[in-house]
Amino acid sequence: MNGKLWSIALAGAILSLVAVPASTSAAPTAAQTVNVGGCMARAAVPAQNWMSPFNTPMTEPGTPAMVVVDYTNVATNPLAQVDFAIVANGKTVTMVRDTGSFAPNARIMHGFAIADSAVPEGGAVTCVPIRAKFSDGTTWMNPTMPSH
Q: What is the 3-state secondary structure (H, E, C) of 46-84?
A: CCEEEECCCCCEEEECCECCEEEEEEEECCCCCEEEEEE
What is the pLDDT, as a whole number, of residue 146?
Answer: 86
Q: Which of 11-15, 36-40, 90-94, 100-104 has the lowest mean pLDDT?
A: 11-15
Q: Which of 16-20, 64-68, 127-131 has the lowest mean pLDDT?
A: 16-20
pTM of the predicted model over 0.95: no
Name the region of 74 (left: φ>0; alpha: ψ -120 to 50; beta: rest).
alpha
Contacts of residue 141, Cβ cutoff 8 Å, sequence gap at least 6: 22, 23, 27, 130, 131
Name the residue with higher pLDDT: 38 or 21. 38
Cα 49 to Cα 59: distance, rounded to the nearest angstrom? 4
What is the pLDDT, as a whole number, of residue 125?
Answer: 95
What is the pLDDT, as a whole number, of residue 29?
Answer: 55
What is the pLDDT, as a whole number, of residue 104?
Answer: 96
Q: What is the mean pLDDT of the chain?
A: 83
Mean pLDDT of all residues in 33-37: 94
| Residue 12 pLDDT class (50, 70, 90 cuts) | very low
